[in-house]
Structure 1
C-alpha cells in the first residue's frame, strides 16, 4: 500500500491512452476485455517510444499516473496494471495513483474530467496532462495550458523522448 503522505508529494501525470500511448489496435483488441488480453496483444498495443519515454521519466522523477482515457469506463485498475506489465512496462504499472482514474461521464470533455479530479484529489502537487490533439482539444487555452502543464501529442505519433523536457519542467514547477 502506498503511504498517503508520500503519494501526496509526488507529481501527477494525467495520461490519455489513444494516440498518446496506444497508436494502433489489432483486431484482437477489445477495450471491454482488457483484463483478458493475451500477452502478445498487450506488447503490440503499447507504442514502444511512448512506453519507453514514460519509463525513463518515472525512473528519473517518481510521479503518479491518473488515466484520463475513456477506457476507464470499461475496465479496472487491475486490468490496466496487467496490460502495462504484460507489455513490459512494470514501472508504469506501479506508478498508478491510488485515485488512478478520472472517470468520464457521457458528455464530459477532457478539461472537465481533469478539473473534477483536481478538485477532489489535488494537494498542490505539480502535474502535467498528456493527451492528443483530438481528444485533448478542450485543453487548448485552458488554465492548465496557460500554466505550461498540457502536452498534446500529434495523432499517429504519440508520446516520445522528445517530449521529456517539457514534461519534466511541468512536473518540477510548483503549482501557484
Structure 2
C-alpha cells in the first residue's frame, strides 16, 4: 500500500426531509428543484442543519451521499444548485462521485444504504443521518449496532448537538 496515496474520505449518508429540510414553502415543487428561486432555496434548508454540516465539512474531508427520495426526481446539478443558492456551497462541493443512493418504491432505507455500500464502499468510516420516520428500517441494523446511525426527531432536524455522535462515527474504523 502506498503511504502517499490519498486516503478515502469519510461518508455521510444524508436524508433531506426532517433532517435538512423541515418546512417546505408553498413555492416548493419537488419536480422543479432545478428552477427554484434563490429565496425559496434559502427558506428550504433548516439553518441549524446547514450550519452543522458546514462545521463538519471544515473539520473532515467528508463525502455526502443523498439517500432521500428526492433523488428520484432531482439531478445532481439541481441538488448542487439548491445548496449553493441556499448559501451552503461547501455542502454542494462535498457530494460523493456516486452522490445518491436511489430507492425504488418498495425499498427500505437500510436496503438502499446496503446496496450503495456493496457497490461503492472502500472501507471508509461513515455515518447515516436520517429521521425517525423514513429511517425506521435502520433501527437495529448492523449500521445502528455499529454506532453509525443518527435518527433526528421529526420536526427537529439536524443540529450542532448531533456533532459529537457524527464525529465519533466518522473517525472510528469499525464494521
| TM-score in terms of structure 1 length | 0.95
User: Could you tell me how far 1:83 is from its partner in structure 2?
Assistant: 0.2
Contact 1:124 1:175 in 2 (8 A): no
Alpha-carbon distance in structure 1 between the residues aligned to 2:105 and 2:75:
18
Alignment of 1:80 onto 2:79: yes
Cα deviation code 1:99-126 (max 9, x no counterpart): 0000001100000000000000000000
Contact 1:129 1:151 in 2 (8 A): yes
Contact 1:111 1:142 in 2 (8 A): yes
Alpha-carbon distance in structure 1 between the residues aligned to 2:29 and 2:136:
25
Q: Which residue of 2 aligns with 1:110?
A: 109
User: Could you tell me how far 1:175 is from its partner in structure 2?
Assistant: 3.2
Cα deviation code 1:125-176 (max 9, x no counterpart): 0000000000000000000000000000000010000000000000000134
| TM-score in terms of structure 2 length | 0.96
Alignment of 1:61 onto 2:60: yes
User: Could you tell me how far 1:62 is from its partner in structure 2?
Assistant: 1.4
Alignment gaps of 5+ in structure 2? none
Alpha-carbon distance in structure 2 between the residues aligned to 1:31 and 1:10:
30
Cα deviation code 1:76-116 (max 9, x no counterpart): 00001000000000010000000000000110000000000
Alpha-carbon distance in structure 2 between the residues aligned to 1:95 and 1:175:
23
Alignment of 1:20-99 (within 5 A): 20-99=19-98
User: Could you tell me how far 1:61 is from its partner in structure 2?
Assistant: 1.1
Task: Give me the CA root mean square deviation.
Answer: 0.9
Alpha-carbon distance in structure 2 between the residues aligned to 1:57 and 1:31:
27
Contact 1:125 1:175 in 2 (8 A): no
